[in-house]
Amino acid sequence: MKRLIGIVVVIICCALAYLYWTERNVLVSITLTSPRNTAMYNRVDVSLAKPAPVYVEYTDKSTGKSYRTRISPVDTLHHIDLLLLKANTEYSYNVIIDNFFKQKSKELTFKTREQSSWLVNHWFTDKRPHDTTALGDGMILLCFGRLPGYMVLIDNEGEVRWYWQVDDIGVRAVSITPQGTFLAMLRPFVKDFVDDYTMTPEQVRNDEHKKPMRRGSIGFAGGTGLTEVSLTGETMWRIDLNKIHEEKDYQVIHHDILMDENHHIHTLYRPTKVATIPVDGKMVTDTLGGDGIMVIDTLGNVLNTWSAWDVWDIEKDPYIGRYRYDRFHINGLCFDKDSNYLLSTPIEDQIWKVDAKSGELVWRFGRAGDFKMDTTAYFSFQHSPYVMENGDLMLFDNGLYNQRSGAKAFRLDEKSRTAETTVNAMLPPNLYTSRMGNAFQLPNGNLLQCSSKTGSVVVTDQSGNVLWESTMLYAPYRAVYVPVETWDQYFKEIK
């Protein structure tokens, strides 16, 4: 019996030895490059003698944290991205051939260069709250609307860890697609320039309220183009609506861009309507400025549209003459949990629900709306509605009447038409923003809030107490939370 066991062991050892030698590969070369010459992105180019899958393990020597890239498919040539690196930081790394018997290269090292001066964020001082645990594991995506336009990702220490730049146009807004890419709205830099600069709290309260809040087409906060960008910085496609559409209504989009699972893009546009209306006691015929929803594909083809004029009774509207060039100023679009649309209609201080198939206006929520609610929770000139994981509706209340801005959330009972306030996290008075801004509940329960006009991006608790703050040199339209799952497809932390 012992002899038989010995023979079996010998056979197994011989088989393993044969398998090892037949699978054994040779690392012909390993080359490290920085394709976009940034401090946050390197690429490892690997050449093998025989086809095999490959990945890279690397360690941040300053923190001891280690990461593993995705496995590159079977081939002899591999290009492996090392993303979201820290500037001016030393890393060690190994290339691993992912056969049955893994082959590991010798340990190699590299050091990222210092950050470009224009990307250095000087916010992180004791003068501002800086609890680095407040944000959690994700990062924050911001846009710049002047020239050159760009998007940046900043981490919990305020450091820029990724950026993408476009030279000929600004970037107005951005969202994350179901594929984990970034969908950006591109804006001609001469449009709506008043939104680009930060203001002191006194300027927001005084200067901003001297001019009309409803500025019509000049304040569309929109763009004329779209592009999709990967985390590697690749521009996957770009369309310029003002170049492919003769119909003027289709040349400009504004405020929101959302991509669904079918790669269709849902956005806001400005359909007009010619009508005879009373103005200063006289009946005049004029072209009214409105808002609507437009669905397009990635080639810019218009698939479907909806117009607020289709559900609005002009004859019963006492304000039509006053706001005829910008009657609704719809500034937010999202999907409800049943896949219908929710729209932020700030002139009415309401959120509207629109049936995505029939176009019916299902209900209006807010001041003078269809829901019974706590009147002390009324919101005004709100922005950026979205449905939270628990189904509640969150929005950013700009607070024109009491000049306090912040996050509010509501649990809506659509059958009984009642609303319960579940979050009321108003920002400190010095972070009041009369326009723009957004709020988002983080996975850890804290709130990411953007006070656009003051240039402040903050993380607060559920009561609005500021835990973390980054002040930008420009007025960011929104702060988009980017969860760790977005880069899981490229790398994961392993220890």
Range 423-451 average pLDDT: 96
State whether the Cα torsion 145-148-153-159 is positive or negative.
Answer: negative
Tell me the per-residue pLDDT of 174-229, one tens digit each, with 9 for 90 and over.
999 999 999 999 998 765 555 677 887 777 777 655 544 444 444 557 899 999 99
Q: What is the CB neighbour count within 10 angstroms for residue 203?
A: 13
State whether the Cα torsion 425-430-436-441 is positive or negative.
Answer: negative
Q: What is the CB neighbour count within 10 angstroms for residue 325?
A: 16
Q: Are 401 and 421 contacting, i.e. CB atoms less than 8 angstroms apart?
A: no
232 CB contacts (<8 Å, ≥6 apart)? 41, 81, 83, 490
Q: What is the pLDDT at residue 11?
A: 57
Q: What is the DSSP letter of 428?
A: P
Q: Which CATH superfamily is domain 26-111 in?
A: Immunoglobulins (2.60.40.10)
Residue 280 φ/ψ region, left for φ over 0, alpha for ψ in the -120 to 50 degree band, beta for the rest = left
Q: What is the pLDDT at residue 198?
A: 83
201 cis-preceded (ω within 30 degrees of 0): no
Q: What is the pLDDT at residue 121?
A: 81
Q: What are the φ/ψ torsions at residue 476 (nearest 5 degrees)?
A: -70, 135
Asked if residue 1 has pLDDT above 80, the reply is no
Q: What is the pLDDT at residue 315?
A: 92
Range 238-245 average pLDDT: 95
Rounded Cα distance, 384 and 366, in Å: 15
- Which range among 209-213, 229-233, 473-477 has the greatest average pLDDT? 229-233
Rounded Cα distance, 392 and 248, in Å: 37
Q: What is the pLDDT at residue 337?
A: 96
Tell me the CA distances in angstroms from 50 to 21, 24, 46, 75, 156, one per residue in order: 13, 9, 12, 8, 42
Beta bridge partners of 353: 342, 363
Range 166-181 average pLDDT: 96
Tell me the per-residue pLDDT of 124-161, one tens digit each, with 9 for 90 and over.
677 888 899 999 999 999 999 988 999 999 999 999 99
Domain boundaries, the chain: 26-111, 117-486
| Of 433 and 16, more confident | 433
Q: What is the pLDDT at residue 339?
A: 96
Beta bridge partners of 409: 394, 423
Q: What is the pLDDT at residue 199?
A: 81
Place of tokens 């001082």: 125
Q: E strands, 156-264, where? A: 160-166, 170-176, 182-187, 222-223, 225-229, 235-240, 253-259
Tell me the per-residue pLDDT of 330-359, one tens digit each, with 9 for 90 and over.
999 999 999 999 999 999 999 999 999 999
Supply the mean pLDDT for the chain: 91
* H or E element, residue 6: helix 2-23
Asked if residue 412 has pLDDT above 70, the reply is yes
Tell me the per-residue pLDDT of 36-79, one tens digit each, with 9 for 90 and over.
889 999 999 999 999 999 999 999 999 999 999 999 999 999 99
Q: What is the amino acid identity at position 49?
A: A
Place of tokens 């402040």: 456
Q: Are 459 and 447 contacting, i.e. CB atoms less than 8 angstroms apart?
A: yes
Closest CA to 306 of 347, 278, 340, 281: 340
Rounded Cα distance, 165 and 147, in Å: 9
Q: Which fold has domain 117-486?
A: Neuraminidase (2.120.10)
Tell me the per-residue pLDDT of 272-290, one tens digit each, with 9 for 90 and over.
999 999 998 899 999 999 9
Percent of the chain with pLDDT over 90: 79
Q: What is the pLDDT at residue 212?
A: 47
